Amino acid sequence: MTQEEARRLRKAAMRYPHLYRFCDPGLKTGSRSGVLLNLRWDQIDLRRGVMDRKAVGEAEASNKRKPPVRLARPWCG
């Protein structure tokens, strides 16, 4: 997705706050929809500005690499 396409998506989603709150983290972190839908608060560290994409219990089930994602400035202080 180009930056222009991402900008247009954000602009269109702004009319629907629930959709914007779903699209914006996906665009900022590059996470897929399934990761965002299954995200829990214990996977987010606002102090360090990091989101852990591994679900609890998933570490043993998958060998796929899922490094933590740095959160954009507006989300953390």
Per residue of the chain (77 residues), give pLDDT as tens.
899 999 999 999 999 999 998 998 888 888 888 888 888 989 988 888 888 877 655 555 566 677 888 887 665 44
3-state secondary structure of 27: helix
Q: Which residues pair with 3 in a beta bridge?
A: none
Q: 52 by DSSP, 3-state: which?
A: coil
Identify whether the C-beta of residue 30 lies closer than 8 Å to the C-beta of residue 72.
no
For residue 76, what pLDDT is reported?
Answer: 47
How buried is residue 51: exposed, middle or buried, by Cβ count under 10 Å (0-12/13-18/19+)?
buried
The reply to whether the predicted model has a pTM over 0.75 is: no
What angle separates helix 17-29 from helix 3-13, to the nearest 10 degrees?
160
Query: What confidence score (pLDDT) does residue 77 get?
Result: 44
The domain locations on the chain are 3-75
What is the pLDDT at residue 64?
Answer: 66
